[in-house]
Amino acid sequence: MLKSYLAFLFFLGFITLSTGQSGPYLFAGAGYLSNGEIGILTEDAEAALVLPALLAERQHGGWSVGASKRSGLGDFAEAAGCAHILLPWKDQLALGIQHAGIEGYSEQRISLSYARRLFDKLNTAITFDFNRNAAEEYENLYAASWAVSIHAPLMKQLSLGAYIYNPLGVESDLDLPSMIRADLLYSPSEKLGMAIEVEKDWRHDVRFKGGFNYKIHPRLAIRWGVSTSPSLVHAGISWNILNNMALSGGWRYHSKLGSSFAASLSSQPKKK
């Protein structure tokens, strides 16, 4: 029991120092981790977890699986998987599963999203999720919430995005956050996408993020990003391995918690 209690205290300290906790802060994939954790830069199925409205632009389904480890913490692991399908009437339905845990303590989130193009320049999605926290020797805690997201491709080079989680501020045993993320993406060419994001969790200071994706070759892309409160640096690389799949690696450095390393495998349908 003492071991479980110490693991529980450690994990509480960990989520206090980092931005990770139940709900929208759990690991989503190597691509998202490496681009500065900016939703509008997400190009594969990871969008189902961080900005589902992006899916409404796509004319295909997709999937992604990934895992992350933190240096110096052999017991701590994170994993995520998601998939989306194109419905006959062109809307998208997405399912996501996320996990984070250390021996004696774990968190899980299951999300279901529905994305639809409302107008030529406006896509939207609604997400429902179910969260679970489990600690040995303690009762499991459960909570459900919801989110809305939008994506507005204003022009070829410029688009906006927003993700609002728990907008009514409903309180629960898991202390789920009420937060908003607002994105701006500028794409001067098909090879380069640069974005900034402002994130506000009503319990914490405003966070600012910046990042980019750059395709240096049709099969090879690099990612980089930074963010504040806490100070984070992100970097990563993706390689299209079979024309229809991509292998991604990501790195994130936290000013107090050190480095995290992630890998993901995702589908990459050919563009028509």
* pLDDT for position 74: 73
pLDDT for 125: 98
pLDDT score of 27: 95
Instruction: Report pLDDT for 271.
Output: 52
CA count, 13 A, side-chain hemisphere, 191: 6
Tell me if 182 sits within 8 A of 207, measured CB to CB.
Answer: no
Q: In this structure, what token pair is assigned to residue 78?
A: 């994170």
Give the CA radius of gyration of the chain.
Answer: 18
24 φ/ψ angles, rounded to the nearest 5 degrees: -80, 0
Q: If DSSP codes are grouped into helix, strand and coil, which group holds residue 183?
A: strand
Q: What is the pLDDT of residue 3?
A: 44
pTM score: 0.90
Please name each of the domains of the chain with its CATH number.
2-267 (2.40.160.60)
Q: What is the pLDDT along the chain (272 residues), one digit of tens a residue?
A: 444 444 444 444 444 444 445 688 999 999 999 999 999 999 999 999 999 999 999 999 999 999 999 887 778 899 999 999 999 999 999 999 999 999 889 999 999 999 999 998 999 999 999 999 998 888 999 999 999 999 999 998 999 999 999 999 888 778 889 999 999 999 999 999 999 999 999 888 999 999 999 999 989 999 999 999 889 999 999 999 887 899 999 999 998 888 999 999 999 776 54
pLDDT for residue 270: 61
